[in-house]
Amino acid sequence: MDDYSEKILHFEIPQIVNDFGEESVAYIGSIDKQVKFKVYTSVNFKFHKYKIRGKKKPYVYIDTTPNEHNMYDGYVFNAPMLERISVIAVFKDPRQVQEFMENEGCCEMSLSEADNMTWIASEVKQNLITKKLRYYRQFIPQPIPNT
């Protein structure tokens, strides 16, 4: 992170699922959800300042190497007056998210919302399983002889 003269803000988040790249982070931005920041998880964030449009807008780089707290480091560029951010992402371990929420005392959502198993959730799961089984049973190829 060389040759940046502006102030770079740092934050930590629990580990995200790296299989989806930037798409594993649904939202990073202002806490009122009005301003969404561009998210980079690769070193391509260095080329953001050469864009024709949007080079002055805030963007975020998430370093996907765990630090000493077993969290990911994030850096916010082009947002000097920012004090708090909001993050919506696919996290690897819900226990790490719960621990982060307890330590920081910052988050609005609890994990009980994610684990809420109501009758509607079980109905949706049952419907999806039934549709999937019906779909695959319809298209079973008939065995043909090898000779």
CA dihedral of residues 66, 68, 74, 80 (deg, nearest 10): -170
- In this prediction, residue 33 carries a pLDDT of 87
Beta bridge partners of 72: 13
- In this prediction, residue 107 carries a pLDDT of 65
- In this prediction, residue 54 carries a pLDDT of 77
Residue 116 — very low, low, confident or very high, per pLDDT cuts 50/70/90?
low
Write down the domain spans for the chain: 9-114
Q: What is the pLDDT of residues 73-101, one digit of tens each?
A: 999 988 878 888 888 888 888 888 888 88
- In this prediction, residue 134 carries a pLDDT of 84
Q: Does 118 score more than 80 pLDDT? A: no
- In this prediction, residue 68 carries a pLDDT of 92
pLDDT: is 112 or 143 the higher one?
143
Q: What is the pTM of this model?
A: 0.65
pLDDT: is 31 or 120 the higher one?
31
CA dihedral of residues 29, 57, 1, 25 (deg, nearest 10): 30
Distance of CA 67 to the CA centre of its chain: 18
Q: Does 111 score more than 70 pLDDT? A: no
